[in-house]
Amino acid sequence: MIEGVYTSVLLVIAGALALGFAILAARLFHALGRHRRVHNLASALARRRARRLSETLRLFRMAEQIADLGVWQYYPDEDRQEWSDGMKRLFGVDPGEILVDGDVETLLAANDVDLVELVSEDARTGEPSVLDFSILRLDGQQRELTLNALRLPAREGGEARVVAVLMDVTDQRRRERSLRKSREIALLEAQRAKEMAETDALTGIANRRRVMVQLDRLVMQSRREGTPLSLIAFDVDHFKRVNDTYGHLAGDEVLRRIAAITREQVREGDIVGRMGGEEFVWVLPGANLELARVAADRLRLAIAAGSASGEVPPVTVSIGIASALSGDTGLSLFGRADEALYDAKNAGRNTVRMAA
């Protein structure tokens, strides 16, 4: 009886131990399975990050190549430079080539470029660097580069560094120079066209259109500032006789000679123009009627003494003078001088008359 009870107790104890071991084993296997699943998940995430990083690097290298970009990094604490594949490509180096110590310095020194020196000053102040320079690549091509650099402070135990992006702007600069040259040519041609439209083709002095535009402006200025303004109108005496006797080519040369003599007489700021045919004007800002009379007499004598051209004898001119009045316009001022000119012709020519 006692043996039966003892046997039953042993069986109960054995069953309990077996159950305990079974529960412990189950928990252990569960923990191992969970650890394996966590390990597998971590491995999958690491592989995924690695694939993303690889794809990012691939896209970065592709962007560098498409945009003709290069990335340059400098670590001041180690005096070390790093060149991206795009940076190598900018200098004509094969992207797959490994640059050892001294290679980058040699490449830069060959082009008289010291990137470290160029960005150091701005890096110390924290200001971005923007630089333009030219290089001669290993393949002999002359290229123009632009650099944008910024200093990045050390973070989380990392090193401070200067990061720069370089871009090949050779084609862009060529287009800019071409556009600038085209613009300059267009402006020059526009100015030339304007001058041609305002210049007398025979004598090279102002034509009637330009004279009248300037005269209107000067009349308004004279009225506004209360300063004098005078106009001398003069005409070649017996010019038809010159053309009939010596020919129109000789007559043209006489007109050119008179224009040249008049230009020798004028002051800075004066205007000399041909109004048409053999009639000329000389506008004198700041000159009253008496000063204009002195200038007109000097001009008349100079033309009589120096207008001879080839076989054509010297010619004379008749001159009319008018000074601006309070109610004058450019046209009315010219009209009064022109009337005085005809008074001079009627008085026998080679003389000066002043408007009333």
Residue 314's nearest CA partner among 299, 322, 304, 324 is 304
* β 352-354/317-323 pair status: parallel
Query: Does an H or E element contain 298, and which?
Result: helix 289-306
3-state secondary structure of 34: helix
Tokens representing 109 are 């020194």
Cβ atoms of residues 321 and 340 within 8 Å:
yes
* Residues carrying an active site annotation: 278
3-state secondary structure 218-234: HHHHHHHHCCCEEEEEE
- For the record, the structure tokens of 93 come out as 């180096």
Question: What type of residue sits at position 183?
Answer: R
Among candidate residues 171, 169, 164, 174, the one with its CA nearest the CA of residue 114: 164
The closest alpha carbon to 87, from 101, 109, 67, belongs to 67
